[in-house]
Amino acid sequence: PNGPQITMDLSGAQGTMAVEWMNPIDGTISDRTTVEGGAQRELKIGSGGDRVVIVTRTEDGKKTKAPPVEGKWKLSFEDNFDGDKLDSTKWIPGYEWGQTHNYNAYCDPANVLIENGLLRLKVEDKPSHDKKYTSAVITSYNKFSQKYGYFEGRFKIPMAKGFWPAFWMLPYPQHWPPEVDIFETIKDDPKVYMTYHWSEDGKHKSSGKHWTDKDFSYSGDLHTYGLLWEPDKIVWYIDGVERARF
């Protein structure tokens, strides 16, 4: 399209849409992104000259899919963040113990944002409550807990110095260890860390692996990070592919 922008109404679309800018002469793709469809949502696209905009539904849309492991699964918890605020029946915008943890940031509930069918955890270079930075977190503590099963979420991970995004599980009632890190990335280290922490004879033990790939886009695309937890094993998955096992 020509002009400053076009607006695409995706109010009737459900799931994740792939948006591509195609040269109509040679068919080359000059740019691509993804956007979540849903009620009363629009996508504003900056112009790129004479280009055809192609919108297609991707295979990793919001429709609940079976885990990448065999079994008769029953869905026990799900949140697609379709509203305009955090669902307080499922989450709290903090930790069980408060708004800070073992990093130099205060987790402000105001930095938990629900926009266009996505949860956004906002990080700011702004001091707060004797911490150097302001960040955000959500947990399901005292809202939902489950022993054994398959757990997953879709994420875009920021890759820059100072960030420590994570998707992890702690026991209910709260104590430590154990802890299962479904994923962690540390600062600007291009690796996904998958770790299990436990106690043995009163001493902290841990076992984990890390994974990366030169073509893996941490922040450019939504990826599914999953964990199978059974009495005799813990298995980590990234986009449905097994990447670690304990």
188 band by pLDDT with thresholds 50, 70 and 90: confident
Q: Is the pLDDT of residue 61 over 50?
A: no
Respond yes or no: is residue 179 known to be catalytic: yes
Q: Give this prediction's pTM.
A: 0.75
Respond yes or no: is residue 96 known to be catalytic: no
137 band by pLDDT with thresholds 50, 70 and 90: very high
| Contacts (Cβ under 8 Å, ≥6 apart) of 188 | 159, 160, 161, 163
Q: What is the pLDDT of residue 134?
A: 97
- Least confident stretch, 41-45, 196-200, 214-218, 240-244: 41-45
Q: What is the pLDDT of residue 159?
A: 82
The distance from CA 17 to its chain's CA centroid, rounded to whole angstroms, is 17
* Torsion, Cα of 64, 69, 70, 76 (10° steps): -40
> Among residues 70, 115, 152, 184, which one is catalytic?
184
Q: What is the pLDDT of residue 10?
A: 67
- Least confident stretch, 49-53, 105-109, 134-138: 49-53
Q: What is the pLDDT of residue 231?
A: 96
Kindly report the length of the chain: 246
H-run or E-run covering 135: strand 133-135
Q: Is the pLDDT of residue 125 over 50?
A: yes
**What distance in Å separates the CA atoms of residue 71 and residue 188, rounded to the nearest whole number?**
37
Q: What is the pLDDT of residue 184?
A: 96
Q: What one-letter code names the amino acid at 69?
A: V
**E strand segments, 23-97:** 29-36, 42-46, 52-57
Q: What one-letter code names the amino acid at 123?
A: V
Q: 10 with 35: CB under 8 angstroms?
A: yes
C-alpha separations of 183 from 25, 168, 169, 178, 218 in Å: 43, 7, 10, 15, 12
> Among residues 179, 200, 230, 242, which one is catalytic?
179
C-alpha separations of 42 from 7, 45, 125 in Å: 6, 10, 30
